[in-house]
Amino acid sequence: TQLLEQSPQFLSIQEGENLTVYCNSSSVFSSLQWYRQEPGEGPVLLVTVVTGGEVKKLKRLTFQFGDARKDSSLHITAAQPGDTGLYLCAGDNQGGKLIFGQGTELSVKP
Amino acid sequence: EAGVTQSPTHLIKTRGQQATLRCSPISGHTSVYWYQQALGLGLQFLLWYDEGEERNRGNFPPRFSGRQFPNYSSELNVNALELEDSALYLCASNLWASDTQYFGPGTRLTVL
């Protein structure tokens, strides 16, 4: 069974701080996606990483895919209250389904 | 371009009843996926439909079923509802299996 371990599960920080969310697995994925979800809404795609070692930047967010395509990280620089939400990593195993991590509930206080 | 749409937004049922949830994919997308997001359990894969056929199924009992129509829209049916079926049911669509999945806003099912 493929699993994605996401950590931390909860993160409460002050505006301006930096943070990193980790997503780890013993399985190889063909690609990995990061989503952000607001309460009562569906996940919204932030980025897809495909190549081992790939780094993608989205404004203050930096995403990295591990060389072996088993793990990924999301780093947020100078967090803002608008970054508050549930961050989800999801691995694509080419069987059509996404394997989701448990999610990281981020709260950024002004 | 319209995104994935789902209906109804909220659905309240009692134990033992049946629920039907609907999903319309992004125009041009032929694959539809269903996920369950229950409190404390994260998103769990339910079903994948492509070109009208069920392609993959998650670890859920047979009372969870669905279908995909010729216009690629999809229905998820849950029979003999149980309290633990209360969750946000999310639908996603894409062009092919390895493409990014785009999610709808979900249907909140509450079983009393």
Q: Which pLDDT tens digit goes with each residue over A18-28? A: 999 999 998 88
- A–B: how many Cβ contacts below 8 A? 61
DSSP letter (8 states) at residue A44: E
Closest CB to A96: pick one of B88, B97, B105.
Answer: B97
Residue A68 scores a pLDDT above 80? yes
Which percentage of chain A shows pLDDT scores above 70?
A: 96
Give the torsion sign (CA, B21, B27, B29, B30).
positive
The reply to whether residue B55 touches residue A100, judged by beta carbons under 8 angstroms, is no
Looking at per-residue pLDDT, the higher value among B33 and B96 belongs to: B33
The rounded distance, in Å, linking the Cα atoms of B61 and A11 is 34
Closest CB to B45: pick one of A44, A88, A97.
Answer: A97
Which chain B residues are within 8 Å of A35, Cβ to Cβ? Answer: 103
Q: Which residues of A touch B (CB under 8 A)?
A: 30-31, 33, 35, 40-45, 48, 88, 90, 92, 94-103
Q: Tell me the average pLDDT across A32-41.
A: 91
* pLDDT level of residue B40 (50, 70, 90 thresholds): confident
Closest CB to B105: pick one of A41, A96, A103.
Answer: A41
Q: Are A86 and A103 contacting, i.e. CB atoms less than 8 angstroms apart? A: yes
Task: Count the neighbouring beta carbons within 10 Å of the beta carbon of residue B96.
Answer: 10
